[in-house]
Amino acid sequence: MNVKLDSLIEKIKADGVDAAKKQAEEIIATANKDADEIIKKAKDKAAQYEKNAESEAKSYQKNAEIAIKQAARDTVLVLKEKITAILEQALLTDIDKTMNQDFLKDLIVKIAGVWAKDGDVEVLVNGMNVDALMAELKSALGNSVKSTIEVKLDRKISKGFRIGKKGDNLFYDFTDESILEALRIFLNPKLAEILK
């Protein structure tokens, strides 16, 4: 009976050990499976973070490049404006030097003398003595023209003069501003070509 009991105990032990081994193997398999899932999820999350970080870095880089290009364009535009302003100021200074009062009076006398042969002439000036200019016109032209030449003060003119046929409301503009505007047509394309 002892043998049977020993055999029964051995069988129970063996069954218990086998059951424990099986249960341990299942626990280990489940733990390994859980560990694999945790590792997979961690790797997926890390990959997603890396992808997001790369995307953000590319976005920042693109925005930085756009901002740099815009800043460069703005700098070039401001530089062009400054250079143009400096050149225009230089031209205006030269125009002011060239178009002094004596030169303007001579020019007015010559133009008025030619135009007065075909009709009355009107001259608009500022910064000149109107009476002195009229006297100079009469002295220079004398009786060579039968038409009248009228000189008027125009406060809208800073320097220079406007001249035209009386009653036509069409004047040829010899003011600093109009001469500078005419020179700008030639200045700006050349300046743009230089700055390219």
36 and 119 co-located in one domain: no
Cα–Cα distance for residue pair 111/163, rounded to 1 Å: 8
Which residue range is the domain that position 114 belongs to? Answer: 99-195
Domain boundary among 42, 68, 98: 98
Pairing of strands 160-165, 121-125: antiparallel
CB 119 within 8 A of CB 160: no
85 and 105 co-located in one domain: no
Question: pLDDT digit of tens for each residue in the chain (196 aa)?
Answer: 566 766 767 777 777 777 778 887 888 888 888 878 888 888 888 888 888 888 888 888 888 888 888 877 777 777 677 766 666 666 666 666 666 777 778 888 888 877 777 788 888 888 778 788 888 888 777 777 777 788 888 888 878 888 888 877 777 888 877 877 777 777 666 665 665 5
Q: Is the dihedral of CA 186, 105, 112, 132 positive or negative?
A: positive
